[in-house]
Amino acid sequence: MNKFKNILAATIVASLALPGIAYADGTVEVLHWWTSGGEAKAIGELKKAFEAEGGKWVDSPIAGGGGDAAMTALRARVVAGNPPTAVQLKGPGIQEWAALGALDDVQDVADEEGWDDELPPALAKIMKYDGKYVAVPVNIHRVDWFWANPEVLAKVGVTEMPTTWGEFNTVADKLKEAGITPLAHGGQPWQDATIFEDVVLGIGGADFFRKALIDLDQDALTSDTMVKSFDQLRKLRGYVDPNFSGRDWNLATAMVMRSEAGFQIMGDWAKGEFLTAGKVPGKDFVCAPTPGKGFVLNSDSFTFFKVTGEEKVEGQKVLASLIISPKFQETFNLAKGSIPARTDVTLDKFDDCAKKSHADLLAAIKADSLVPSMAHEMAVPRSVRGEFLDLVTNFFNSDMSSEDAVKTLAAAVKRAQQ
């Protein structure tokens, strides 16, 4: 059903009176950071669906994986008194903007459509402020993945994906000896933090991850386990090529595709790149969780900033309803590499990586080993995340010892909390 049905009638009347005015109905300006091949395809599906409803879409993409540049742009727009109508935002960021009174809620749409029955409770909680939905989730991404080129691994006789960091190091050493870059990586703080948190899960397990990266427990932050995690990060530093600095994550994915590297450690948005390039999972590329029992959760969502004008408010409601619709959740996530945020969408059309993600997600919920991503802003305030990113990047780009790293990190996190 056309969500703009009612106002469309008004539009026709208006356009008869004023030829040339195309839209008197819902409008959204959408600020997002989805500019890579797979990301652009996925957000393109949302634009298409919104326009099919008769709405007008104004695209405001801010390039930069992980969204740090987009968040800076958002702050500037809000300070200038000109917020976009819809913004890709997540985790504590949703709460922070809502607490400032900057967000409109879409509770009336949620009530009408029964969102509480359709979303996992843990996700619904993140989307609500003061008991009302101020955000709507579009997907569930998993952060702890290896992506590998099986043809490259076969060159050194490897046919199985590593299941421990020790095994990974052995394979990586073989690749290095054969003159192949073991790890495709982009040296940007959010990417460094992505591989760091995956290592922490593998070395310390989910409980340790939670203590150190979410609860910010000083004992965990200065523990031997954290020293060992930095030791493994130092190992990974030895497996990247000399030109890693500043490289975008999707270019690192392309290195794996082009057989220039064996692995990439990245969330499943990397799968969106492989698929957009026509690569076949299980054949051209393989996926496997990075070592460690658990699941590092990253969910993208959209928020609706307070704007004036009936057509903008209407646009927000239509967009919210579209995002949550089962059909859209399927189409979008097939392109994005993630799985639907709704629990009632079947995965029939999805590949084995997505099915594995879903099965492991359910198992992690059961085993209490589901952890929210620190690197992808699902867990800690931006100020604390900033300290992690700074330290991890400094470590990666210097010869800092693991012992010094944990001390400096623990002190910086403490300061950020005061």
Binding site for ligand GAL (CB under 6 A): 33-34, 39, 65-67, 141, 249, 269, 298, 300, 376
The CB-of-84 to ligand GAL minimum distance in angstroms stands at 18
The CB-of-358 to ligand GAL minimum distance in angstroms stands at 17
- When the beta carbons of 67 and 83 are compared against ligand GAL, the nearer one is 67
CA atoms within 13 A of residue 119's CA, in its CB half-sphere: 28
DSSP 309: S
Q: How many helices (H) and strands (E) does the chain have?
A: 19, 14
User: Which helix H or strand E contains 56, and what residues bound it?
Assistant: strand 56-61
- When the beta carbons of 209 and 249 are compared against ligand GAL, the nearer one is 249
Angle at CA of residue 299, ends 66 and 308, nearest 5° = 85
Amino acid at 298: N
The CB-of-69 to ligand GAL minimum distance in angstroms stands at 10
- When the beta carbons of 128 and 271 are compared against ligand GAL, the nearer one is 271
Q: What's the order of all strands across the beta sheet hosting 295-298?
A: 141-142, 295-298, 370-372
- When the beta carbons of 41 and 141 are compared against ligand GAL, the nearer one is 141
Instruction: Report the DSSP beta bridge partners of residue 406.
Output: none
12 vs 62: CA distance, rounded Å: 34
The CB-of-353 to ligand GAL minimum distance in angstroms stands at 15
Q: What's the order of all strands across the beta sheet hosting 145-148?
A: 181-183, 261-265, 145-148, 286-289
The CB-of-65 to ligand GAL minimum distance in angstroms stands at 4
In contact, 193 and 375? CB cutoff 8 Å: yes
The CB-of-396 to ligand GAL minimum distance in angstroms stands at 18
- When the beta carbons of 39 and 105 are compared against ligand GAL, the nearer one is 39
Q: What is the dihedral of CA 240, 243, 249, 250, to 10 degrees?
A: -110
- Residue nearest ligand GAL by beta-carbon distance: 65
DSSP 101: T
- When the beta carbons of 33 and 395 are compared against ligand GAL, the nearer one is 33
In contact, 116 and 142? CB cutoff 8 Å: no
CA 324 from centre of chain: 17
The CB-of-138 to ligand GAL minimum distance in angstroms stands at 9
110 vs 399: CA distance, rounded Å: 51
The CB-of-17 to ligand GAL minimum distance in angstroms stands at 43
- When the beta carbons of 27 and 188 are compared against ligand GAL, the nearer one is 188
- When the beta carbons of 96 and 173 are compared against ligand GAL, the nearer one is 96
- When the beta carbons of 141 and 312 are compared against ligand GAL, the nearer one is 141
| CA-based nearest residue to 294, from 372, 230, 379 | 372
Which tokens hold the place of 291? 């070592």
The CB-of-280 to ligand GAL minimum distance in angstroms stands at 22
